[in-house]
Amino acid sequence: MSENVEKTQCLIIGSGPAGYTAAIYAARADLKPMMYQGLQPGGQLTTTTEIDNFPGYPDGAQGPEMMEDFKKQAERFETDVRWGMITEIDLSKRPFTAKADDGKTIIADTVIIATGATARWLGMPSESEYNGYGVSACATCDGFFYKEKDVAVVGGGDTAAEEATYLAKLCNKVYLVHRRDELRASKAMQNRVMNTPNLELVWDHVPKEIIGETEGFAKKVTGVIVTNVKTGEEKTLDIDGFFVAIGHKPNTEMFKEQLEMNDVGYLITKPDSTATNVEGVFAAGDVQDHVFRQAVTAAGTGCMAAIEAERFLGSQE
């Protein structure tokens, strides 16, 4: 076999809570997993500052530090963790063949996909500047930090409506900024929005710039400038937090035409399972979960995927 061709019982594509948990379980099952971390090693949590809702961290944790803990635990059981990414894969027959950006060809008996999803952003420079310091794409993750404060949510679909009503239970005031004069959300979600007293709809407006303060390494959001799409007039909303709720894009481009996915691109797994429509291929974390999108649920499906990969290999002997 060429030195550029390697074999593994279990190839894990992507890291984050799903990928690292899958690695821990697969390694403990002696599958000797190989992981390519992907474009964003550690996944979305590496862009998050405080994480207070993951069990086992009573004082909270910084996202990058938590992912480093996950990585160390996976490596403790001799997971082969590699910097880089899988660029293409053939799932048409077993064993599967993947190519990595380091020039290696990987022959894998099973594959666990943990490539995650990427939040859709508006593209403002200030959005990147304050990401993790008052700008978030997950109300369930970060809403707690804005108790009794004022925040803004941008979007008009079910996700935006759900995030806004969730935040309204915690925050003093929630502005829901939408570019149109009606929501795209379902009627049930619209009713919830309209019947939430501390939620103010800012119709026909789009965010122009997030305002904030920086003192040394400390940053915080203090407001957002919004523009009326009909008149061009601008106004400033005084806020402490800015939540972007215009959806997520699952990182599944490489698997199109090979795996079943929904109309948005999330991989479809079998009920009560992480198994895809291709035997021996499993999907865990946000790449197949458009409902919860939490670190702890991603870790849970990573565990499931590794156990199912082990059982699949056992059934082939």
Catalytic residues: 138, 141-142
Sort 295 into a burial class: Cβ within 10 Å, 0-12 / 13-18 / 19+.
buried
State which amino acid sits at residue 172: N
Distance of CA 240 to the CA centre of its chain: 23
12 and 33 Cβ atoms separated by less than 8 Å: yes
244 and 137 Cβ atoms separated by less than 8 Å: yes
203 and 228 Cβ atoms separated by less than 8 Å: no
131 and 155 Cβ atoms separated by less than 8 Å: no
Alpha helix stretches (DSSP H) within the chain: 16-28, 63-76, 125-129, 139-142, 158-168, 187-194, 295-316
Q: 265: which 2 tokens? A: 């691109």
